[in-house]
A and B are shown apart, each in its own frame.
Chain A
Amino acid sequence: VVAVVVALSLWYLYPPRKSINLGLDLQGGIHLVLGVETDKFVASQTERAAEDLKGGLERKGVGVKRVAREGLSAIAVELANPGNWNDALTVAAEFGTFEVTQRDDKAGRFTLAMRQRQVVQLRDDAVRQGLETIRNRVDQFGVAEPTITRQGDDRILIQLPGVQDPDRAKALIGRTALLEFKLLDEQTPVEQAVAGKLPETSEILYQRRVDKETKAERKHPYVVLKRTLLTGAELTRAEVQADPNSPGNWQVAIEFTATGARIFGEVTEQNVARHLAIVLDGTLYSAPRINERIPGGRAVITGQFTVDEARDLAIVLRAGALPAPVTILEERTVGPSLGADSIRQGMIAIIGSAVVVILFMLIYYRLSGLIADVALALNLLILLACMAAFGATLTLPGIAGIALTIGMAVDTNVLIFERIREELRVGKTPRAAIDAGFHRALRTIIDTHLTVMVTAAILYNFGTGPVKGFAVSLFVGLAASLFTAYFFTRLVFDAIYMGRRKVAAISI
């Protein structure tokens, strides 16, 4: 059995450099926890349903005074003429995910509220789609072995080992990347709009302009119609190109799907001579004049981009927009040089404690101490092999856990050896003393191992990244020590002392 375990361990550990995953604190990288603002997704979906409802009512010839989102997930409707009440309710009934909660047929007012099940579903969708989108972006960015998982209800955990430029990676991941095409409101002068006189259908968006010489950033206001004509959802391609009009700058060329191209063609046809604003996450990038109908569904986004900025923009556009904005709840970034320092110090600590403990056992228990030392080495071998086999991650606290395991693993042997010495003092023969020693110590060994393993398991369940790493190595180390310190040592003792007829003394 021992031979098999050793062979398996060695096999898992080969090749040594690649077999054990190093934690972010050791190899450097980014650990991020993002919170998905699911409220905003529910609100935007309700908003969209309100638009659809308004359209539906108008098609049926029902005049409305007001259709607007109310709160997070309700739509308030006010009819122009309460006489159309029944028609209006028929249209509303088509919205299966909503139900009428308040009604006042005399005033022609009613409220539609989204069903609770649908709200829950939407929140879940928002996180799931967000996860997918982020995974897509990270894949295209090119990170080796990223971890992207859901955490709890509305959180996403992202771990990117070995990323050199954390700021860029964060910008890439955290950006909503909602691309919208809107028309400029050419009736309202900018000065008047900035002063606050703005029609309800328009809004002010800003364009960032960077001065080439001073690097100073200015914000330039535009008045834009709120209605979105087309979004980045209808995109098939996005590529980086050199900007022909402004040397040294880059642009992103995009191509729409068939539907997108048709809408784009119609929009440009109907609005020749007006300006089309290209808006990304609420910032206006450019507002070129539409000279003629643009068929084929191609466009470019310009905006004084560097090549990296343009490349990242192309990535987020290809991967799609996040369904809802995300915020960074937790971030831990470790530079690669710090990680290397930590590994070095951790190794010194492990080797140091191993040397001290091994010498101590050897001096105090002589041959038996040597056996315990071999058991300890075997323990470390199994511990590392298990971590490699289960794909566990070795973190800095994990290294601490190993150093601690060394100290505690010999405890089992100390327990047994002290017991054997005790039995010898009572006057038992060496063989009987060995038997009694192992036998009597077993119960205690199991008790002590179980309690510490219970705490390690609890640590694992409640801890985050680094603490988990510590719990893993402690747990595995203890399990391994149960095997090596008890069974392996017993085996060696039996081989040495039980085979012979007469044993004069034990080297203990």
Chain B
Amino acid sequence: MIQFFGNPNYNFIGRRRVAYAVSAIVMIIGLGSLAVRGLRYDIDFTGGTLVQVRFEQPPTVAAIRAGLARIQLGDSIIQEFGDPREYIVRMPLTTVSSEELTKRVTAALGQEKALGKFEIRRVEFVGPQVGRDLQRQAVYAVLFGLVGILVYIAWAFKSVKGGVAAIAAVFHDIIVCMGGLSLTGREFSLPVLAALLTIIGYSVNDTIVAYDRLRENRGKFVARGKTFADQMNDAINQTLSRTVLTALTTFLSTAILLFLGGKTLEDFAFVLFIGVITGTYSTVYIAGSLIVDWTESVESRVSKRKKAVAKA
């Protein structure tokens, strides 16, 4: 029988201060990058036009830019897309309609002899209204997702603290993922939003498994002298092999998506890839640890008050 963990008994919770520091550093890097470098939003959210072109011969960016300069679009964003012959051109919102714009781009690239033959493979146009709507929907989707989870945990585990700690873990994961997007200069698009929401689900999923075990153990006989921190640590250790195994299989799936799924899915897979790692980590060190610190601080306050009452 292959087994990664026989009967694990690692002191996860005990080392939580170190983990808090690590999390804080990672989050500061992430937030710092978001503040300084910012997040590049895809046209889904900003509005604009995107054209994906496949050339017969690998072109140079300069030649494409020269072609576009003929129609005063020389400052468009031009990116290679997964293949040296495949390029994406992004143009900001203009007063010209999308059909007209596509026609002009086709004509302008056609006039640039150095580019050779090409095929327009994809055109996306998002108007300003739709962009604004999508931004709003994105915010709502994340908020409702969080609220839904908070309510579910508070109800299923009769613990608002647990819900809040789980949400804190989710926030941590979102910041890490967005920070990663910002650092690698990837774009925040609709599929990326979907990936973020999936990570929210995944992270909470993991947290719930640990909480579930805690609840089950507390329902049974609790050995004397076991603090809440010990109990949480036990629960995490008991579910550890499952956590690692699931993280591993999911991680493998997303890794394959990232490396074999093609350029269109790359950003999406990237978020999942980062999210699986941070989601697993945050179960132990954010959701698990925070609830321990919180419960202990409440308990110590209660006992102080009891002592005060006894003195008086």
Contact = CB atoms under 8 A, between A and B. Distances in A.
B121 A335 contact: yes
A466 B197 CA distance: 14
B134 to A, nearest CB: 7
Interface string A9-37: 00000000000000001000000010100
Interface of B, helix, strand, loop or mixed by DSSP? helix
B164 interface: no
Interface string A343-356: 00110110011001
A403 B130 contact: no
A245 interface: no
Interface string B166-205: 0000000000000000000000001101100110111011
A415 B204 CA distance: 16
A168 to B, nearest CB: 10
A459 B99 CA distance: 31
A210 interface: no
Candidate in A353, A425, A461, A470 with the most chain B CB atoms within 10 angstroms: A353
Given A333-B123, A335-B120, A462-B144, A397 B253 contact: no
Nearest to A411: B246
Contacts of A61: none
Interface stretch (B61-69, B254-262, B298-306): B254-262
A451 B152 contact: yes
Contacts of B140: 462
A357 B194 contact: no
Interface string A421-457: 1100100000000000000100110011011101110
Nearest to B248: A360
Contact of B260 (A348, A411, A418, A474): A348
Interface residues of B, number: 73
Contacts of A508: 1
B56 interface: no
A171 B99 contact: yes
Contacts of A189: none
Nearest to B190: A467
A190 interface: no
Contacts of A25: 264
Contacts of B1: 366, 508
B102 interface: yes
A398 B242 CA distance: 27
Interface residues of A, number: 73
A356 B248 CA distance: 11
Contact of A400 (B52, B141, B213, B269): B269
B272 interface: yes
A456 B253 contact: no
A7 interface: no
Nearest to A455: B201
A473 to B, nearest CB: 11
Nearest to A166: B123
A193 interface: no
Contacts of B129: 35, 329
Nearest to A354: B253
Nearest to B2: A364
A471 interface: yes
Contacts of B200: 455
Interface in B98-149: 98-99, 102-103, 119-127, 129-130, 134, 137-138, 140-141, 144-145, 148-149
Interface in A380-399: 396-397
Interface of B: 1-3, 7, 52, 54, 97-99, 102-103, 119-127, 129-130, 134, 137-138, 140-141, 144-145, 148-149, 152-153, 156, 190-191, 193-194, 197-198, 200-202, 204-205, 208-209, 212-213, 216, 238-239, 241-242, 245-246, 248-254, 256-257, 260-262, 264-265, 268-269, 272
Given A425-B7, A448-B208, 14 more contacts: A331-B124, A346-B265, A349-B262, A357-B249, A357-B252, A357-B253, A361-B249, A397-B265, A403-B257, A407-B249, A411-B249, A447-B156, A459-B141, A462-B141
